Structure 1
């Protein structure tokens, strides 16, 4: 108004026809008061709504015939009831006491001297080791009792023993047959086609030769045309081979020093001997 009054003195009535200049800087206190008033009004509206809903609940309970105890139970069952007269957490359950079994309370005294601590530690270690041994002994006793009381365990144990005996008997019989056949083969100068070996199976004769030479000379078996590497524990770079073809003729092969490898053309062979060149 002061600005308009000053301009009216200069320009007359025309000064009222123009819009006055706006303030370049807003009033901070006016804005703060406005926001504060709005916040207070909103909080007051929320509180009024909360108390109105609470009154409606109480009236509904009273109409249904609920007593004072039911009302108290309703109020205490609610964890948080919003804004009230004594705070936002007025109906929240407070801190509870811990159970007696939750922990063990001890009165801790002063620290022990080092020599007492070492003795105590050694005693604890010995006690724990003794307990562990007792526990293992008890477990072994329980396992033995279960095995003795369980008929299936006895049956499985007897079955295993029978299998072992049967296998050992078969091995003994095979060793006896191999010995007998090996004597005949040695008398025939290791020739599978000798007339004295006509009644024996050729595969059995070759198997005896292979097993005997494996036990004595580290024999290896394979197909003709394959590459075999011959190694020796004593002389890795030396060797000599005497081979048998299916017809029973003895073949001699030269040993390749640089690559430690044989190459053979055809047939099946058994390496039955080796010596240093």
Structure 2
């Protein structure tokens, strides 16, 4: 070690000793027992990686929100087009004749007025659309939506030997334990439907 480095280290140690001595005069021996409050430099690679990760997560969320908003816009546009088409079909040929006489600016004004009048009603799906959506979902276990009115009761399956008294050789015979009652028997009105 060269002389300059030794002198610098010695001056740092002397300065620290003076500081501790002045603190010891004020606070007593506790100044020497306290751990030094050394602030280390933060790990810059960790901080940059953390910031990049947060930025990436925020970017993903923003892109997802953008696509959801775009899908809603497309859905609204298709609904409005459908309603315009249905409304146009109901008016018939008279509307087509009138629209030929209108200027393009008046057509735009009528379209915006029509869109604003229907925008109040675009709050959500209609009852039929909601019901169709709910019935299109796959029902799994307890995750089914609503009561299962279309699937009545936990009834026993109709056994094949009731229909055919003598079984064919390729079908195995049911054991006696398989005839034990596992639940309530199916009512007559449901049995007749299942046999059809």
TM interval, shorter chain, is: under 0.3
More helix by share: 2
The alignment's TM-score, normalised by the length of structure 1, stands at 0.17
Structure with larger Rg: 1
The alignment's TM-score, normalised by the length of structure 2, stands at 0.23
